Amino acid sequence: MAEDEKPKARQGWLARIAPGVRRLVSSRRETPDNLWVKCPDTGEMLYRPDLEAAKWVTPSGRHMRIGSQLRFSYTFDHGRYRLINLPKTPDDPLGFAHGKPYREVLASARKATGQNDAMAAATGEVGGVPCVILVQDFAFMGASLGTAAGEAFLAAADEAVKKKRPLVMFAASGGARMQEGALSLMQMARSTLAIQRLREARLPYVVVLTDPTYGGVTASYAMLGDVQLAEVGAAIGFSGRRVIEQTIREVLPAGFQTAEFQMDRGMVDQVVTREDLPVILGSVLRTLMMGRARLKAA
Amino acid sequence: MAGPFLEFERPIAELESKIEELSQLAADGGPGGLMAEIEALRTRAREMRIEAYAGLDAWQKTQIARHPERPHFVDYVATLIEEFVELRGDRSFGDDQALMGGLGRFRGIPVMVMGHEKGHDTASRLKHNFGAARPEGYRKATRLMNLAEQFGLPVLSFVDTGGAYPGVGSEERGVAEAIARSTERCLTLGTPMIAVITGEGMSGGAIGIAAANKVLILEHGIYAVISPEGCASILMRDRNLAEDMAKAMKITAEDLIRFKIVDKIIPEPPGGAHQDPVATMMAVGDAVEAELKALLKLSPDGLRKQRADRFMAIRAG
């Protein structure tokens, strides 16, 4: 529900994403400005080519938010993958025109990101194991869950079942897309049904929680993985910080709702660095798929 | 009329208090012909109420859906369920009285019944946390559905919540995961499940017990991805715009049936469920019975398929 994002949201979706990614998507000019990215933690100016070489992990260890293309190229072996075509869904099913009209918000998000919506899917190999990967891009309307994302999830799960491949979900979201009302809520049930198809086919469904994952996404497919991984430092929760603080009238401690917090409380199997992720993911998928093959052989 | 009146009911409330005064006067032996006038005014008040309730907007319905005198889970259980035995606890951490459940028989059919309970006075509202469930509520719901599966019991679910509880403990104990698992359990059930949105069904806290074969809603019930206040606060940065958001999010029964998000609207008595709780609950019972009898003809796989098909058929356009 993007509740944690409220204070910054007035400046539009661009301001919500990390400054580095913001420059990456908002400016195509080769200005000197483009060459330096400010570390959100230390304020240090970082040389962009260095940051790119470090997969957008700052020297202080902050895993900056990245889009689907970078995620695919970092995760699939040799950065090789094939995009999966996603179904087209109607825009603005409710005619939501209050505040900034939904159609306009969608149009500007599309223009800025070059994506149709927040979810992208691709197929390739990780550690030699063929799999389907879904990525939610927070730069697109806070990766909120609407019908487009719901249909994308179904399409990717269907592709995984058809090709007998595991599904890996890189979750990131502020929550439900309120401009689609209860249709957005329904995607929680629909994605959960798609996961049942994977379960019935004994195909692994692995979730990687990335920064940030909240609301209806956490309360559905992002918490239903056979194995749950999380990227270092990712904020993960149901209600946003601000809502909780308003409810309890206290300021929450630092570290509340981080990936590490969730692992300590039993919601995540492992917190992993971006660097280690492909190897760990490959190991998990290989072992599970070997188990599946032995079952099928028996 | 029952309980406090809503803002749009003010003219009706004023008329009713005038009728009250006149009746007092007549009883004290006032001028002749008074009785006829009182009767005419009573008819007028009834008409006004029917009129007012025929053209309610989403915000007015939001207020009715939250009316404190509306029948709640405990009332439905007392009226519709025989030999109810409450089952408590999630067997892991604790019991959550915001989401209650138990065994019983509905018109002769053995069932598992569960639902949100908001409470009806200060003490019970605190006990039931105003219907805002914590992880234990959803883990209890999952447990009760497991038990229902084991003994072939249909599940009746009564939805009435402003959302799951947004507290520190909720987060620490994984409320999101608890809702996700409860939703998943609804969707894998091999017994019939019917959900009734009796008041407000807000957010994940609602769908966690509403991913059913049939989803019914009372005429003035509302169902949404987030409360109008929450939506206004996030999208518009102003909670006072909740009224606009209630209208924009398409949360009323008529809107929801258009998108097939709900299957059936159960009419309420003129003036809303709180005007005649017993009639409302009997109407809910009749609607549930009709759906349940049809669903009982399906096999476990048939039920799972019907439920999956139902949710897959919900499309934006």
**Would you call A219 and B211 a contact, using CB atoms and an 8 Å cutoff?**
no
- Is residue B316 helix, strand or coil? coil
Nearest CA-CA distance, residue B148 and chain A, Å: 20
Q: Which residue has the higher pLDDT, B6 or B140?
A: B140
**Would you call B245 and A98 a contact, using CB atoms and an 8 Å cutoff?**
yes
pLDDT in the model for residue B5: 81
Cis (ω within 30 of 0) for the bond into B300? no
Nearest CA-CA distance, residue A261 and chain B, Å: 8
Containing structural domain, residue A99? 65-297
Residue B183 near chain A (CB below 8 Å): yes
- Mean pLDDT comparison of A25-29, B46-50, B300-304, highest-scoring range: B300-304
Phi/psi for A92 (5° steps) reads 50, 60
pLDDT in the model for residue B54: 83
| Rounded Cα–Cα distance for residues B273 and B276 (Å) | 6
Is A268's pLDDT higher than 90? yes
Q: How far apart are the first and last CA of chain B?
A: 42
pLDDT in the model for residue A48: 94
Q: Do both A145 and A235 map to the same domain?
A: yes
A58 belongs to a structural domain: yes
A108 belongs to a structural domain: yes
**Would you call A185 and B203 a contact, using CB atoms and an 8 Å cutoff?**
yes
pLDDT in the model for residue A225: 98
Q: Do both A223 and A127 map to the same domain?
A: yes
B259 chain-A contacts, CB cut-off 8 A: 93, 182-183
- The torsion of the CA quartet B178, B181, B186, B189, rounded to 10 degrees, works out to -140
Stretch B258-282: mean pLDDT, rounded? 96
Is A19's pLDDT higher than 80? no
Within 8 A by CB and 6+ apart from B299, the residues are none
**Would you call A188 and B207 a contact, using CB atoms and an 8 Å cutoff?**
yes
Q: Do both A196 and A229 map to the same domain?
A: yes
A155 belongs to a structural domain: yes
Segment B184-237, tens digit of pLDDT: 999 999 999 999 999 999 999 999 999 999 999 999 999 999 999 999 998 888
Nearest CA-CA distance, residue A266 and chain B, Å: 9
**Would you call A219 and B188 a contact, using CB atoms and an 8 Å cutoff?**
no
In total, the C-beta contacts within 8 angstroms joining chain A to chain B are 184
Is B31's pLDDT higher than 80? no
Best mutation target among A186, A217, A236, A263 (most B Cβ atoms within 10 Å) is: A186
Segment A153-170, tens digit of pLDDT: 999 999 999 999 999 999
Is B152's pLDDT higher than 60? yes
B229 chain-A contacts, CB cut-off 8 A: none
**Would you call A178 and B249 a contact, using CB atoms and an 8 Å cutoff?**
yes
Q: What is the model's pTM? A: 0.91
Task: Kindly indicate the confidence band of residue B46, based on its pLDDT and cuts at 50, 70 and 90.
Answer: confident
Strand partners, B201: B161, B223
Residue found by looking up tokens 């970092």 in the block? A74
What value of ipTM does the predicted structure carry? 0.91
Residue of chain B with shortest Cα separation from A217: B176
Tokens linked to A138: 């927070």
Task: Kindly indicate the confidence band of residue A27, based on its pLDDT and cuts at 50, 70 and 90.
Answer: very low
When CB atoms are compared, the residue of A97, A176, A266 closest to B226 is A176
Q: Do both A52 and A74 map to the same domain?
A: no
pLDDT in the model for residue A9: 38
User: Cβ(A6)–Cβ(A246) under 8 Å?
Assistant: no
Nearest CA-CA distance, residue B278 and chain A, Å: 29
Q: Do both A127 and A50 map to the same domain?
A: no
pLDDT in the model for residue A219: 98
Q: Do both A190 and A250 map to the same domain?
A: yes
Q: Which residue has the higher pLDDT, A14 or A101?
A: A101
Task: Kindly indicate the confidence band of residue B6, based on its pLDDT and cuts at 50, 70 and 90.
Answer: confident
pLDDT in the model for residue B30: 72
Nearest CA-CA distance, residue A67 and chain B, Å: 23
Best mutation target among A102, A117, A238 (most B Cβ atoms within 10 Å) is: A238
pLDDT in the model for residue A32: 55
A4 belongs to a structural domain: no
Q: What's the number of CA atoms in the CB half-sphere (13 Å) around residue B196?
A: 29
B206 chain-A contacts, CB cut-off 8 A: 185
A74 belongs to a structural domain: yes
Q: Do both A155 and A58 map to the same domain?
A: no
- The torsion of the CA quartet B232, B238, B244, B247, rounded to 10 degrees, works out to 10
Residue of chain B with shortest Cα separation from A251: B168
Q: Give the rounded percent of residues in chain B with a pLDDT score beyond 90.
A: 81
pLDDT in the model for residue B3: 58
Choice among A3-17, A77-91, A269-283, B225-239 with the minimum mean pLDDT: A3-17
User: How many structural domains does chain A have?
Assistant: 2
Is A5's pLDDT higher than 60? no
**Would you call B180 and A239 a contact, using CB atoms and an 8 Å cutoff?**
no
Q: Give the rounded percent of residues in chain A with a pLDDT score beyond 90.
A: 82
Q: Give the rounded percent of residues in chain B with a pLDDT score beyond 70.
A: 98
- The 10 Å Cβ neighbour count of residue B61 is 22
Q: Do both A76 and A41 map to the same domain?
A: no
B166 chain-A contacts, CB cut-off 8 A: 238-239, 243-244, 247
Task: Kindly indicate the confidence band of residue B8, based on its pLDDT and cuts at 50, 70 and 90.
Answer: confident
| Rounded Cα–Cα distance for residues B87 and B100 (Å) | 8
Residue B256 near chain A (CB below 8 Å): yes
**Would you call B170 and A182 a contact, using CB atoms and an 8 Å cutoff?**
no
A22 belongs to a structural domain: no
**Would you call B234 and A94 a contact, using CB atoms and an 8 Å cutoff?**
no
| Rounded Cα–Cα distance for residues B111 and B109 (Å) | 6
Q: Do both A101 and A152 map to the same domain?
A: yes
Task: Kindly indicate the confidence band of residue A33, based on its pLDDT and cuts at 50, 70 and 90.
Answer: low
**Would you call B311 and A215 a contact, using CB atoms and an 8 Å cutoff?**
no
Tokens linked to B231: 């939506």
Is B104's pLDDT higher than 70? yes
pLDDT in the model for residue A3: 42
Is B52's pLDDT higher than 90? no
Nearest CA-CA distance, residue B32 and chain A, Å: 56
Within 8 A by CB and 6+ apart from A36, the residues are A45, A46, A47, A48
Q: Do both A188 and A242 map to the same domain?
A: yes
Choice among A122-131, B13-22, B274-283 with the minimum mean pLDDT: B13-22
Q: Do both A84 and A136 map to the same domain?
A: yes
Is B119's pLDDT higher than 90? yes
pLDDT in the model for residue A80: 98
When CB atoms are compared, the residue of B168, B173, B308 closest to A248 is B168
A214 belongs to a structural domain: yes
Interface of B with A in 149-178 (CB under 8 A): 164-168, 170-177
Rounded to the nearest integer, the mean pLDDT of chain A is 91
A172 belongs to a structural domain: yes
Domain end: A62, A81, A112, which one?
Answer: A62
B312 chain-A contacts, CB cut-off 8 A: 154, 190, 193
Q: What's the number of CA atoms in the CB half-sphere (13 Å) around residue B13?
A: 9
Nearest CA-CA distance, residue A148 and chain B, Å: 9
Q: What's the number of CA atoms in the CB half-sphere (13 Å) around residue A237?
A: 27
**Would you call A248 and B167 a contact, using CB atoms and an 8 Å cutoff?**
yes
CATH of the domain at A166: 3.90.226.10
User: Cβ(B26)–Cβ(B34) under 8 Å?
Assistant: yes
Q: Do both A46 and A181 map to the same domain?
A: no
